[in-house]
Chain A
Amino acid sequence: MKAFLFTTDALLAFFLVMVILSVMIMSRQPLPDLNNEILFQMTQDAIEVCNLKAELSKSCVKKLMNHVGVSVAFDEDCETGISFSRKKIDGSFNLLVCHKQ
């Protein structure tokens, strides 16, 4: 009888530990993927470089982005787009970049 009670206690303790560990694991959320941040950064770089070369235009940004295999579309409706606004010497430069998967 004592042995039976001991086994039951051991099993209960084991299940308790399992439950606590499971709750701890379940409560943690995966961290966000930084791919969008990286894409944002890369597009900003492209705009910066084109600006430095005094060639701030959509074609310049597109050329750079295409070079690293990122397809971009401008001024189109897209679900996952990043919008950039930048002042140009001769007027404003608005850009909506859509990341095509």
Chain B
Amino acid sequence: MRKAQIFLSDVLIAFFVLILSISLFQIFITQRYASIKQSYNCFESQRALIDASELLISTSSEDNGIGLAVKMANNVKHHQLSKKSIEMLKKHDDLGRELALPRHWGLFIYEINGRELFSAGKKEGLALRRFALCGNKECVVELWGKCE
């Protein structure tokens, strides 16, 4: 009777230790999964912002309807943005989709002296800033996107 009691108590202790270990391991795995998921989502958002900014400052609206670079004598002048193309951005209904930006996005273009040239969306999440010349003045193309 005594031996059986000791055996049962050992089994119970082993069982609780096992359950505790599994729970701790489960917490660790859940945290790791969340961090990996976050890194994948942020990577995608960052990639989308980089691609969209490249599209804006290195292509011309004559080629794809959305690029901002000046085109002269069939040459695209990257980093030299046309103010007319910036103005034309207002006519795009779904800029986020056209630039393949994350669901929550923002696009702001302003001269370095603070004068705003274009703004759409919200300043939420990650920010990517690119320098360019708008007309003859230095300006910043600022893209925002949330990790989803």
Chain A contacts to B: CB under 8 angstroms: 18, 21-22, 25-26, 28-34, 37-38, 41-42, 45-46, 48-49, 52-53, 64, 67-68
Contacts A45-B79, A46-B131 aside, 13 further interface pairs with beta carbons under 8 A come to A31-B42, A31-B43, A32-B43, A33-B42, A34-B46, A38-B46, A38-B50, A45-B131, A45-B132, A49-B79, A52-B79, A52-B80, A68-B140
**Nearest Cβ on chain A to B45's Cβ, whole angstroms:** 9
Chain A, residue nearest B18 (CB): A15
Measured CA separation A48–B131 after assembly (Å): 8
Chain B, residue nearest A60 (CB): B138
| Cβ-Cβ contact count across A and B, 8 Å cutoff | 67
Flag the segment in B6-14, B28-36, B59-67, B93-101 that touches A. Answer: B28-36
Question: Can you list 11 residue pairs at the A/B interface with Cβ under 8 Å?
Answer: A18-B22, A22-B25, A25-B32, A30-B36, A31-B40, A37-B50, A42-B129, A42-B130, A45-B79, A64-B131, A68-B129
Measured CA separation A19–B98 after assembly (Å): 43
Interface contact B32-A26, CB-CB below 8 Å:
yes
For B, the interface residue count at a CB cutoff of 8 angstroms equals: 30
Contact with A along B118-140 (1 / 0, CB 8 A): 00000000001111110010101
Q: State the main secondary structure of chain A at its contact with B.
A: helix
